[in-house]
Amino acid sequence: MRLLHEQLDLMRRQGHLKPVPVRAMTHALSGAMNELALWIAQHPGSADAALDEAMEVIARLLDGFRSDA
């Protein structure tokens, strides 16, 4: 959590992220990534396919936080 928070805070300060509460964003992203890891581990099909799907979802989620600047 500490490393994720530090990275998100740095990205926000550099103008890469919209001005959002970084602590809340850290917890939200950490929870999403933890749940996706569990989903990948329990996926009945290919773990590689599940990982690709998870990465697509995370990428789209993060796009919503991207600064337009």
**Could you tell me if 17 and 11 are in contact, meaning their C-beta atoms sit under 8 angstroms apart?**
yes
Residue 39 within a domain: yes
User: In this structure, is residue 45 part of a structural domain?
Assistant: yes
Residue with more model confidence, 45 or 6: 6
Instruction: Please state the rounded mean pLDDT for residues 8-36.
Output: 95
Domain limits for position 46: 2-63
* pLDDT at residue 8, rounded to an integer: 96
Does 68 fall in a domain?
Answer: no
User: How many Cβ atoms are within 10 Å of 33's Cβ, its own excluded?
Assistant: 14
pLDDT of residue 24: 97
Judge whether 25 and 5 are in contact, CB under 8 Å.
no
Q: What confidence category does residue 69 fall into, taking pLDDT thresholds of 50, 70 and 90?
A: low
How many CB atoms are closer than 10 A to CB 26? Answer: 19
Give the list of residues 6+ apart from residue 19 with CB closer than 8 angstroms, or none: 12
Q: Give me the phi and psi of 66, to 5 degrees please.
A: -65, 135
State residue 45's pLDDT score: 86
Confidence band of 68 (pLDDT split at 50, 70, 90): confident
Domain count within the chain: 1
